[in-house]
């Protein structure tokens, strides 16, 4: 059994590359989940604003004079649309969607390159040049760090979303996790 001082540098590089691969996949899937959440809010806002804006004059006249729930329902829908329109503008949802799409692209690219790197290591398990592969891995690690620095805080990035994303990553990489 190898001690920490005698550990195989190839094995250490394999583990380190897996950790960066895992973290890149996590950020990629988290960005995708954030895109889904913000897109839903974006689409909902656009639909409600369109319905109430184009139909408000005509429908409003017809419903405003009707007693009961139609008038109240129209007021509630109009109020929600107005509120979401303000939130949409204040939270700059289109900008958030672009930023998360860029995050996803950057982390997906890095994840794919790390996956290829790990395949190359596996193919030449006993013969790959440890110095060359270590230098290459350090460049991937630097890119990962740069990508993390570009992430913005997001109110929809909740602990629940992070935990569910981690579960997805764990499920997807279950065999590799069990081998480590």
Q: What is the DSSP letter of 155?
A: T
Tens-digit pLDDT profile for residues 14-48: 999 999 999 999 999 999 999 999 999 888 777 77
Q: Does residue 1 have a pLDDT over 50? A: no
Tens-digit pLDDT profile for residues 138-155: 999 999 999 999 999 999
Task: Give the pTM.
Answer: 0.80
Cα 6-178-160 angle, rounded to 5 deg:
120
Tens-digit pLDDT profile for residues 59-103: 655 665 666 666 676 667 777 777 767 776 766 888 999 999 999
pLDDT above 90: percentage of residues in the chain: 59
CB 74 within 8 A of CB 59: yes
pLDDT score for 57: 53
Cα 5-139-119 angle, rounded to 5 deg:
75
Sign of CA dihedral 37, 43, 45, 48: negative
- Cα Rg of the chain, angstroms: 25
């Amino acid at each position: 059994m190898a001690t920490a001082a005698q550990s195989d540098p190839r094995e250490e590089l394999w583990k380190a590359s897996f950790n960066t691969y895992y973290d890149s996949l996590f950020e990629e899937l988290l960005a995708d989940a954030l895109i889904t959440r913000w897109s839903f809010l974006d689409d909902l806002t656009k639909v409600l604003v369109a319905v109430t804006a184009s139909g408000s004059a005509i429908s409003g006249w017809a419903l405003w004079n009707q007693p009961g729930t139609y008038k109240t329902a129209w007021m509630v829908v109009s109020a929600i649309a107005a509120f979401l329109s303000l939130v949409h503008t204040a939270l700059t949802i289109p900008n958030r969607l672009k930023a998360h799409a860029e995050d996803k692209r950057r982390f997906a690219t890095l994840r794919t390159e790390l996956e290829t790197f790990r395949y190359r290591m596996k193919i030449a398990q006993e013969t790959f040049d440890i110095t060359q592969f270590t230098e290459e891995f350090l460049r991937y690690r630097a890119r990962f760090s740069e990508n993390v620095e570009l992430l913005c805080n997001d109110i929809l990035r909740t602990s629940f979303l992070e935990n569910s994303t981690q579960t997805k990553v764990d499920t997807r990489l279950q065999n590799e996790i069990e081998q480590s």
